[in-house]
Amino acid sequence: MKKAILAATAALSAIALYAQAHHSISMIEISDPHWLSGTVVRFKAVDPHVMIELAERQSDGSTRRWILEGPRMARYERVLEQAGHSADQPIIHVGDTISLCGFPLTKQYDPAKMYDDWKPVNGRFLHAEVLTLPGGRMTAWGPYGKMDNCLRPKDTPQSWIEFLNRDALARQLWCTGKSYTTRVAAGAPKALIRQVDGALAQPCG
């Protein structure tokens, strides 16, 4: 009986530690940004995270399924408020075509163990940092990546400048991410980042 109690206690402790770590930048591979485009096939605004299932079309006509973790509900409500939506007016709908920048989990974490109803295929699971919605509007999404790593050489600085000056959550993520000194992507275009930094209406402190 004592062994059973000790085993149960250990299991509960492991679950608690896993849940605590789940909401940490240390779980995200911030050096490995992924840009995807696809069709929303499932969307659910719930805690602990708003979730999206995305079908990414391949060049041969097939699709790959991705599971995308997003913000907690309190942050999602702020995203809605910034977009001028009420809580019953989601900014994403099934059938929408969106693109996003997201980051995978570090190797020691298995996304299949996180959400029973959102198990990824072949590990295709990202924490989404930035979404580009139908119509081209960019919006901040989840808070556990490094936003400046999402910049690509082909991006125009003006699109990011307008985005960061309009979206307070995005600017907050941009500035927070710049303080990270480890696991930083070497491929981020530094000249473009400097150009965006110099044009922020409210510079990072």
| Residue whose tokens read 């996180």 | 114
Domain count, the chain: 1
Residue 94 forms part of a structural domain: yes
Q: Is the residue at 191 inside a domain?
A: yes
Please report the pLDDT score of residue 89 as a whole number. Answer: 87
Residue 19 domain-assigned (yes or no): no
The pLDDT score that the predictor gives to residue 199 is 97
For residue 18, being part of any structural domain is answered with: no
How much is the pLDDT for 2? 45
User: What pLDDT, on the 0 to 100 scale, is given for residue 23?
Assistant: 54
Partners of residue 128 on adjacent β-strands = 102
Residue tagged 């082909």 (tokens): 154
pLDDT in tens, the chain (205 residues): 444 444 443 333 333 333 433 457 889 999 999 999 999 999 999 999 999 999 999 889 899 999 999 999 999 999 999 988 888 888 999 999 999 999 999 988 898 888 889 999 899 999 999 999 999 999 999 999 999 999 999 999 999 999 999 999 999 999 999 888 777 776 778 899 999 999 999 999 8
DSSP state of 51: E
Omega within 30 of 0 (cis) for the link into 71? no
Task: Answer yes or no: are the C-beta atoms of 17 and 81 closer than 8 Å.
Answer: no
- Residue 84, in any domain of the structure: yes
Contact (CB, 8 A) for 152 and 96: no
* DSSP assigned state of 105: B
The amino acid occupying position 4 is A
DSSP state of 202: S
Query: What is the C-alpha to C-alpha distance for residues 82 and 61, in angstroms, rounded to an integer?
Result: 36
What pLDDT is recorded for position 7? 40
Give the C-alpha separation, 168 to 198, whole Å.
Answer: 17
**What is the CATH number for 158?**
2.40.50.140
Q: What domain range includes position 163?
A: 27-198
How many angstroms separate the CA atoms of 137 and 111, rounded?
A: 29
pLDDT at 181: 77
Q: What is the pLDDT of residue 61?
A: 87
Residue with tokens 């959102």, as numbered in its chain: 118
Residue 130 domain flag: yes
Residue 9 lies in a domain: no
List Cβ neighbours of 147 (8 Å cut-off, separation of 6 or more): 101, 129, 130, 140, 170, 173, 174, 177
In a domain, 10, yes or no: no
